[in-house]
Amino acid sequence: MDPNIHYLFNPHSVAVIGASDREDTVGHSAIRNMLYGRLHGSYRVEGYPEKVYAVNVREQALEIPTYKSILDIPGEGIDLAIIAIPAKYIPKVIDECGQKKVKAAIVISAGFSEIGEDGKSLEEEMVRRARNYGIRILGPNCLGAMNVFKRLNATFTDEMVMLGPLSFVSQSGALCTAAIHYAKEKKIGFSHFVSVGDKADIDDADLLEYLDRDPNTKCIAIYLESLKDGRKFFETALRVNKTTPIVVIKSGRTEAGAKAAASHTGSIAGSDTAYDAAFEQAGIYRVATLEGLFDCARALGYQPIPKGDRVAILTNSGGPGVLAADHAMNIGMHLAELSEDTLKKLNDYLPAAWSHSNPIDILGDATAVRYTEVIDILQQAPEVDSIIIILTPLSFTHPYNVSQQIVQIAKHSPKPILANYLGIISAVSGRYLDEHGVPEIAWTERTVRAMHALSTRSNFLRFEAQAEIPPTQIDVLEKKDRIYTIIEKARQDGRHILTLLESRDILKTLGIPLTSGVLLEKKEAIDSAGIGFPVAMKIVSKQITHKTDAGGVRINIFSAEEAKKAYDEIITNVKNYDPGAEIEGIWMEEMISGTELIIGTTNDPTFGKMIMFGLGGIYVEILKDVVFRLVPIHLKNAEAMYDKLKTKAILEGARGMPKVDRKKLEEMLVNVSEFVHKFPVKEMDINPLVVTRKGLKAIDARIILE
Domain-wise residue ranges, the chain: 3-217, 304-465, 516-591
Q: Is the pLDDT of residue 67 over 70?
A: yes
Structure-model confidence comparison of residues 114 and 36, the more confident one: 36
**What is the pLDDT, as a whole number, of residue 89?**
97
How does residue 262 score in pLDDT terms, banded at 50, 70 and 90? very low
At 518-550, the pLDDT tens digits run 999 999 999 999 999 999 999 999 999 889 899
**Are the folds of 304-465 and 516-591 the same?**
no
User: Does an H or E element contain 417, and which?
Assistant: strand 417-421
Range among 5-9, 464-468, 687-691 rated most confident: 5-9
pTM of the model: 0.92
Provide the pLDDT confidence category of residue 614 given band limits of 50, 70 and 90.
very high
Quick check: 270 pLDDT over 60? no
Q: Which stretches of 246-289 are DSSP H helices?
A: 264-268, 271-282
E strands present in 39-183:
51-55, 66-67, 80-83, 104-107, 136-138, 144-147, 152-155, 162-170
Q: What is the Cα–Cα distance from 6 to 150, expressed in whole angstroms?
A: 13
Q: Minimal CA–CA distance to 456: which of 324, 284, 597, 325? A: 284
Return the CATH fold of 304-465.
Answer: Rossmann fold (3.40.50)
Q: What pLDDT digit, counting tens, does each position of 442-476 carry?
A: 899 999 999 999 999 999 999 887 776 555 555 66
Task: Find the mean pLDDT for residues 677-685.
Answer: 93
CB neighbour list of residue 170: distance below 8 Å, 6 or more residues apart:
143, 176, 179, 194, 195, 196, 222, 223
pLDDT in tens, 483-501: 999 999 999 999 999 999 9
Average pLDDT over residues 405-422: 95
Higher-confidence residue of 315 and 187: namely 315
Mean of the pLDDT values across residues 394-399? Answer: 84
- Average pLDDT for the chain: 92
> Which CATH fold topology does 516-591 show?
Dna Ligase; domain 1 (3.30.1490)
616 vs 30: which has the higher pLDDT = 30
pLDDT of residue 625: 87
Residue 426, pLDDT above cutoff 80: no
pLDDT of residue 470: 55
Domain 3-217 coded CATH 3.40.50.720: yes
pLDDT at 480: 83
Percent of the chain predicted with pLDDT > 90: 83
Over residues 160-189, mean pLDDT:
92
Mean pLDDT of 379-386: 97
Which residues contact residue 81 at a Cβ distance below 8 angstroms, ignoring those fewer than 6 apart?
14, 15, 16, 17, 70, 93, 97, 102, 104, 105, 106
Look at 133 and 654; give whichever has higher pLDDT. Answer: 133
Cβ of 220: how many Cβ atoms within 10 Å?
Answer: 30
666, amino acid identity: E
